Amino acid sequence: MPKVKVQISMSLDGYVAGPNQSEEHPLGEGGMDLHEWALALKAWREPHGHEGGEVNESSAVMGEMLENVGAVVMGRNMFGPVRGPWEGHPWNGWWGDDPPYHAPVFVLTHHPREPLQMQGGTTFYFVTDGIEDAIARAREAAGDKDVSIGGGASAVQQALEAGLVDELTLNVVPIFLGAGARLLDGLGDAQLTLECTRAINAPAVTHLTYRVSR
Amino acid sequence: MPKVKVQISMSLDGYVAGPNQSEEHPLGEGGMDLHEWALALKAWREPHGHEGGEVNESSAVMGEMLENVGAVVMGRNMFGPVRGPWEGHPWNGWWGDDPPYHAPVFVLTHHPREPLQMQGGTTFYFVTDGIEDAIARAREAAGDKDVSIGGGASAVQQALEAGLVDELTLNVVPIFLGAGARLLDGLGDAQLTLECTRAINAPAVTHLTYRVSR
């Protein structure tokens, strides 16, 4: 049974991006520190065209994150600093001509735009009807495979709040960002039941996987 | 080398107490849910005079929390809803005549009070000079043993911010309280280095232990 899964890096104080996000600092000040563990891995470097890299307890988790993904959902900030209207803004995402998704990607936005076909099997679809519609379309596109919600904080929150997430993996990085985008705010009334199915401690990160239901 | 350690239960969204703390709900609304995993354990029930209880992956963690503790530091809310002045308020803590500490306990307060000797080796000392003084006095009283900071959020934050915590164990409970007392706020500038030394997944809780230094 295909699932909707989230895997996201979070500081110990709960932030997935630091303060003052900008085109220069898309993850906010200090936000890149959340991803150092991943960027050091062979499992990240290889699919992104780089040699070398570490193999450790995180490698399998990174592999899982990328495997069996049939479609991706992401918020507009994750797609880029341009929020539309799109005419005259030739923003095609952060990732160059060949984004690392190799699957349909559904981008939440308030501004309609024609689908954007990139190299390597990635096509960006722009969804203006909210998270439920984006996930429904992604599920359909993914077929037997999983849907991955890439972020950011708001997209993940909305999906959790709507009861549409089956599995949540938090890559907990032991730093304090102090401010920025907090992942798990506003869920006090969401009536979710979580069970931690796995805790893996690795260099510079601890991976906690939760089964989520309502 | 004796250490200053914190072990505290925290919701997945970072709260150690729910909203609307009161004498009736000392841990706020929903806050008791953070401790269900502990209350179910034989390792908790036995020292509190109850029979039965579970033995699972949490048992050793609970044992460590109680062992080798030579002194305790706690915030005023953890001692009780009465914040002083103490004359005419015969509040002697939540725990009855024989509190479960069996050691000197240093209570942060703004109002001086004579030491309060209870049964079973617990004496409450009231410290008006702040967290650094409380920890210094507790270290001296503990001798070769560890100092445990019991909570609440503010006492732990102050101790972390002052660089006085050596080991932090978060008992992460997979619930969302949505509001209340957040443990790890205000630490963005604390310049701490944390390393997760252990992650233990247990029924209804995941124990993450961090070595803390500055």
State yes or no: cis peptide before A85, omega within 30 of 0: yes
To probe the interface with A, which of B10, B176, B207 has the most A CB atoms within 10 Å? B176
Q: Is A43 left (phi over 0), alpha (psi -120 to 50) or beta?
A: alpha
Angle at A158 between CA A153 and CA A162, to 5 degrees: 150
B12–A179: do the CB atoms touch at under 8 Å?
no
Q: Tens of pLDDT along B32-68? A: 999 999 999 999 898 888 999 999 999 999 988 888 9
Residues of A near B (CB-CB distance < 8 A)? Answer: 12-14, 172, 174-179, 184-190, 192, 194-201, 206, 208, 210
Select from A175, A179, A187 the Cβ nearest to the Cβ of B176.
A187
To probe the interface with A, which of B6, B13, B61 has the most A CB atoms within 10 Å? B13
**Cα(B23)–Cα(B133) distance, rounded to whole angstroms?**
28
Per-residue confidence in pLDDT tens, chain B, 214 aa: 899 999 999 999 999 999 998 878 889 999 999 999 999 999 989 888 899 999 999 999 998 888 899 999 999 989 988 777 888 777 899 889 999 899 999 999 999 999 999 999 999 999 999 999 999 999 999 999 999 999 899 999 999 999 999 999 999 999 999 999 999 999 999 999 999 999 999 999 999 999 999 9
pLDDT at B90: 78
**Cα(A38)–Cα(B212) distance, rounded to whole angstroms?**
22
**Cα(A149)–Cα(A73) distance, rounded to whole angstroms?**
5
pLDDT at A201: 98
pLDDT at A140: 98
pLDDT at A46: 87
Element (H, E) at B155: helix B153-161
pLDDT at A15: 98
State yes or no: cis peptide before B30, omega within 30 of 0: no
Size of interface A-B (CB pairs under 8 A): 74
Tokens of B93: 């803590």
**Cα(A9)–Cα(B206) distance, rounded to whole angstroms?**
17
- H helices of chain A, in order, are 36-39, 42-45, 57-66, 76-79, 131-142, 153-161
B174–A186: do the CB atoms touch at under 8 Å?
no
Pairing mode of beta strands A167-173, A4-11:
parallel
Angle at A161 between CA B33 and CA A143, to 5 degrees: 125
B13–A194: do the CB atoms touch at under 8 Å?
no
